[in-house]
Amino acid sequence: GTIMPEEDLYQLVDIAVKTAGIHPYAIEGDLQVIPRKGEKAECLMLVETGNAPAGVQLDEDMTDLITGQKIAAGPVEPYGIHILTRMG
- State pLDDT tens for residues 29-67: 999 999 898 888 889 999 999 999 999 998 888 999 999
CA distance 22 to 2: 26
Quick one: pLDDT band at residue 72, thresholds 50, 70, 90? confident
Query: Given this model, what pLDDT does residue 30 score?
Result: 95
Determine if the pTM surpasses 0.85: no
pLDDT (tens digit, 9 = 90+) per residue, 5-26? 999 999 999 899 889 988 778 8
Rounded-to-10 torsion of CA 85, 44, 25, 67: 60
